[in-house]
Amino acid sequence: MPATARDRLVAAAFELFEGKGYDATTVDEIAARAGTGRSTFFRHFRGKEDVVLPDHEALLGRVGGRLATASPAGREVALREAAGIVLAHYLAEGPTARARYRLASTVPAIRDREIASVQRYVRLFAQHVHGWLDAEPDGPLRAELVASAVVIGHNHVLRQWLRGEVDDAATAEALVDRALGHALALLRGPAATASAPTIVITGGEQDVEQVVRQVREALGGPHGKNGDAADLGSS
């Protein structure tokens, strides 16, 4: 049995919710199953919704603390590690996190609270990324996009794990890392994107017009992008 009264209350609540249903379960029943009293329940939680949800206050504090320590050269690492803090928490919860996900799909009050919590993470990430980017070209816009994309990328993979489509923690972590690779492209800015050369591989039997058409398509349109040049390699 979980060691602390809070942990026992959480475990008891999920057992009862799974067995009796959320609406049919009372606070008194949760407290009795956990071996505590009603007053102990309300020292830890304001109501049944709170006993279901993760400790977002503690998680937000840890995420904010990691982002606050980011150096200019380490911002991408900080964002990855901050998202990893949240993922690790859910993975450590295991069956409890998956039970919560099932409840959220059927109990509107829980679903609404979880949706609201997502926006808290977006605002926290945005607060820090704005501080990094606002003085750069399109910085405020990029900050909003980066913050939203980090949370969306993380949650896309988390939902796969919660549904059982991804079974093991290592795979979930790798998928989140890959998703964040897409999300963080805007953190590097347009200059980093523009400096990368475009390489087109052509077949040996293609004529010049075919090669030129491939180059134009690779550069983003019939006239290319900003006059960029491309390296051509024949195979």
Tens of pLDDT along 74-118?
999 999 999 999 999 999 999 999 999 999 988 998 999 999 999
For residue 68, is pLDDT > 90? yes
Pairwise CA distance, residues 186 & 216, whole Å: 24
pTM of the model as a whole: 0.76
For residue 156, is pLDDT > 50? yes
DSSP label at 138? T
Kindly tell me the burial class for residue 98, based on how many C-beta atoms sit within 10 Å of its own C-beta (0-12, 13-18, 19 or more).
Answer: middle
User: Which pLDDT belongs to residue 227?
Assistant: 43
User: Which pLDDT belongs to residue 76?
Assistant: 97
Tens of pLDDT along 118-138?
999 999 999 999 999 999 999
Reduced to 3 states (helix: H, G, I; strand: E, B; else coil), residue 233 is strand
DSSP label at 229? -
User: Which pLDDT belongs to residue 3?
Assistant: 77
Nearest to 103 by CA among 59, 160, 48: 48
Q: For the residues 63-77, what does the mean pLDDT come to?
A: 97
Domains and CATH numbers, the chain: 5-51 (1.10.10.60), 53-189 (1.10.357.10), 197-234 (no CATH)
- Radius of gyration over every alpha carbon of the chain, rounded to an integer in angstroms: 24
* Token couple for 72: 């200019």
DSSP 16-84: HHHHH-TTT--HHHHHHHHT--HHHHHHH-SSHHHHHS--HHHHHHHHHHHHHT--GGGHHHHHHHHHH
User: Which pLDDT belongs to residue 54?
Assistant: 87
Please indicate whether residue 72 or residue 206 has the higher confidence score (pLDDT): 72
User: Which pLDDT belongs to residue 224?
Assistant: 45
User: Which pLDDT belongs to residue 134?
Assistant: 96
DSSP label at 204? T
Tens of pLDDT along 200-214?
565 556 565 665 666
Give the torsion through C-alpha atoms of 52, 62, 76, 158, to 10 deg.
-10
Nearest to 131 by CA among 143, 145, 141: 143
Pairwise CA distance, residues 150 & 126, whole Å: 10
DSSP label at 206? -
Pairwise CA distance, residues 174 & 99, whole Å: 23
Q: Are 176 and 84 in contact (CB under 8 A)?
A: yes
Tens of pLDDT along 18-62?
899 999 999 999 999 999 999 999 999 999 889 989 889 999 999
Give Cα 41 distance to the centre of its chain. Answer: 31
Please indicate whether residue 65 or residue 191 has the higher confidence score (pLDDT): 65
Nearest to 49 by CA among 11, 23, 28: 23
DSSP label at 165? S
